Amino acid sequence: MTAHSSFVDIALTSRNAGRNRSVYSYRTKEDVHVGDLVRVPFGRVSAYGIVIRTSQSAPEKRVYKSVSNIIRRGAVSPGQIELAQTLAHEYLAPLGIVVRRAIFPEPPKRETKPETTKKTKSLPKRIPAIAKRLAGVKKHTLFLAPQGDTRTETLLLAARERVRTGGQALLLFPDRGALEKAHELAQAVLPENAAILLHGSLSSGRKHRAWERIANPKKSSIVLAVASGVFAPFSRLRAVFLDDAYRSSHKQSYAAPRYDSRRAALLLAEIHGCLVVFSDKHAHVSLLRDRKDGKWNFIDAKNPSRKTPRLRITNAWPPSFEERKKQKSGDVFFSQELLDTIRWTLGRKQRFFLLASRRGASGLSVCAGCKRVLLCPECDRALVAQSDEGYRCLHCKHVSDMFTACPSCGSMRFLRRIPGTQAMEKKVRSLFPKSNVLRIDADTEFFASRAKTGYREKLEKADIIVATPALANFWPIEAPGGIGVLDADAFWRWPDFEAEEQAFHLFSRLLNITSPEGFVTIQSRRPDHRVLEALASPQAAEDFLETLLEERQGLRYPPFSRLLVLTGRNRDEKTLLTQSKHLTERAREILGASARISSPFAPMREKKKGFAFRRIVIKLLQDSSKPLPQEAAVFTDKLPTNWRADIDPKEVV
């Protein structure tokens, strides 16, 4: 900043520094530069912020407070500020909240030895041709290959080849499980200490050392990260690789900024002038459209002659009346084909993986007298039955004992529907008493402790593993000899336009991780459903995705539009209804014919911890590849404090 400059715009990083506005102007007498971390007065307290603009004249004629002091110079680079500004506009988040993620971490208070990676085997002397081809692409590319270590290794080798002459490459993964598995593989295929690991659980000292290495333009590095890796201080970014592009976990949904790492990767590549490579087994529906338009290059590395496991589709309806009666009363039904597959797999001394759609003993319980679903009194969600602990709400942790009475008729007899991991584990133990059965879900705390030693041994000792889909995303041991899905309908029954596509990708993943000599047996009440038919062959899969693309184009769903979902909560339901009606009218006034606006409705989570909820869905009639229209930002700029906006959310209802 020049000596004559005396005013700065500062993005305050505190969440209390304005609901929709976080950029304020201050006067300064010091030599302040863009990217400096400063402390400023804010009301009766002090706040921290990042300088994003400087000027020589006052923006408005009024009295300005002065910057208190400079905390750290160069805490955020200009490239990071540009990315934060774009994401703040795209996802309707306060700039200060976004730019806070890009602040350079403080150095550790005490010196610690830098971590070194242990080599597990010698580096590959020859780079595969497919990795060289990926490293030399000239435009954005979708890399189609079966999920597994081979695909991840190809991405790592392509990144290594890309930075051979210097610079950095970023590899983004959808969750910690996939990231840790890739980091183990990187120790075998990359030079010592070439890989830099980034995730939210790193200590401040490790994060500081990692960011120092990334910011050094003289050193080449390969960064392995989850979504937050896009905020790292890259100086010579050469390529961005994104694995498992279809996974919904790339979209952040719990706290602002609710950005999508796939879109953030494209914006980051645009800032640094580099390329993006997405990898998956099948093309995402939105990328199919880009393929037709010629915007993306497609590299198909799937081997048609590769042996794949055999697929069995069985009927989930019990053949006899007695079995159907047991199923209605809560018994878990195993078809004869599924039982034969389990016995055949165990007879070959191989492991069997049984997939459940949810945890607990059952997804919901229905009163035997009035057929009413037993709901949580705090949040109106179905209570999940536990094996011996009564009923529990998975959303607000409400617990009730086993002698709960129906609030409508007083009956204490409930029929359990949609079997969960606990019910399946109990049934499997009774059917196969000599087998070692292991249940893996959030209740067993397995995923929270997977970074600790010993979790592999537990998996390797198990004969039958009953788990939720999270385990399929980072299967860390030898391929199972068989996989069974007890209730396939539960994966596409969710009322969301992406439910069928997500179910298709999940079942494709199961075929990937199964041994080529094994079986994948899927039980469904609709064996002829189009999701299951799409698994029959590569051509059937492509036809299925093309059909979904045509349907979304006709209905103007993403990628042919963008969804803006407003969610409000209030303890007073009347106040909430008044607010929702006012927002609907205001949206129609500002957005006009450029959007389609739903009437306010109660979402599936209608109440939680005493709060009532209302939701408004706005379909912005523009292509998803284009920037968010300015009218959307103007409309959401004055949202009430009890309302939040989410662009292209994971769920709409």
Across the chain, mean pLDDT equals 84
- The average pLDDT across 310-334 equals 70
pLDDT at res. 1: 42
pLDDT at res. 5: 55
Band of the pLDDT at 111, cuts 50, 70, 90?
A: low
Band of the pLDDT at 598, cuts 50, 70, 90?
A: very high
Whether 460 and 326 share a structural domain? yes
Residue at 12 is within a domain: yes
Residue at 383 is within a domain: no
Cα–Cα distance, 618 to 596 (Å, whole number): 6
Q: How many CB atoms lie within 10 A of CB 15?
A: 14
Cα–Cα distance, 368 to 405 (Å, whole number): 11
Q: 276 is written with which tokens? A: 């993006």
pLDDT at res. 406: 80
Q: Which residue among 254, 278, 300 closes a domain?
A: 300
Band of the pLDDT at 361, cuts 50, 70, 90?
A: low
Band of the pLDDT at 116, cuts 50, 70, 90?
A: low
In the chain, how long is the greatest CA-to-CA distance? 88
pLDDT at res. 452: 46
- The average pLDDT across 193-219 equals 86
Q: Which residue among 500, 518, 551 closes a domain?
A: 551
Contact (Cβ atoms closer than 8 angstroms) between residue 297 and residue 275 = no
Please report the beta strands in 173-230, taking only residues with DSSP state E, as ranges in sequence order: 195-198, 221-225
Whether 517 and 610 share a structural domain? no
Between the alpha carbon of residue 216 and those of residues 209, 486, 535, the distances in Å are 11, 51, 47
Q: Which of 201-215, 217-231, 318-332, 470-484 has the lowest mean pLDDT?
A: 318-332
**Tokens 């041991």 sit on residue:** 477
CATH number for 593:
3.30.70.600
Range of the domain at 245: 129-300
pLDDT at res. 580: 94
| 559-573: pLDDT as tens digits | 899 999 999 999 898
The CA-based angle 322-326-329, given to 5 degrees, is 140
Total domains in the fold of the chain: 4
Whether 331 and 438 share a structural domain? yes
Residue type, 581: K
Residue at 395 is within a domain: no
Pairing of β 310-315 and β 519-524: parallel
Residue at 435 is within a domain: yes
Residue 123 has pLDDT above 70, yes or no: no
pLDDT at res. 85: 94
User: Three-class SS of residue 241?
Assistant: strand
Whether 254 and 163 share a structural domain? yes
- The pTM assigned to this predicted structure is 0.85
Residue at 110 is within a domain: no
Residue at 274 is within a domain: yes
pLDDT at res. 357: 82
Whether 483 and 622 share a structural domain? no
Cα–Cα distance, 164 to 412 (Å, whole number): 69
Whether 508 and 486 share a structural domain? yes
Q: What percent of the chain has pLDDT over 70?
A: 86
Cα–Cα distance, 192 to 123 (Å, whole number): 10
Residue 120 has pLDDT above 50, yes or no: no
| Closest alpha carbon to 117 in 174, 51, 187 | 187
Contact (Cβ atoms closer than 8 angstroms) between residue 73 and residue 33 = yes
Q: Which residues contact 318 (CB under 8 A, 6 or more apart)?
A: 324, 326, 327, 333
Whether 167 and 283 share a structural domain? yes
pLDDT at res. 624: 85
Whether 190 and 81 share a structural domain? no
Whether 482 and 600 share a structural domain? no
Whether 345 and 452 share a structural domain? yes
Contact (Cβ atoms closer than 8 angstroms) between residue 385 and residue 426 = no
Residue at 391 is within a domain: no
CATH number for 336:
3.40.50.300
Radius of gyration (C-alpha) of the chain in whole angstroms: 27
Residue at 261 is within a domain: yes
Whether 257 and 148 share a structural domain? yes
| 486-526: pLDDT as tens digits | 889 988 987 788 889 989 989 988 988 898 899 999 999 89
Q: Which residue among 252, 277, 300 closes a domain?
A: 300
Q: 169 is written with which tokens? A: 């490459």
Q: Which residues contact 228 (CB under 8 A, 6 or more apart)?
A: 101, 198, 199, 200
- The average pLDDT across 145-155 equals 82
pLDDT at res. 156: 92
pLDDT at res. 323: 61
| 398-413: pLDDT as tens digits | 777 766 778 778 777 7
Whether 152 and 256 share a structural domain? yes
| Closest alpha carbon to 208 in 311, 114, 139 | 114
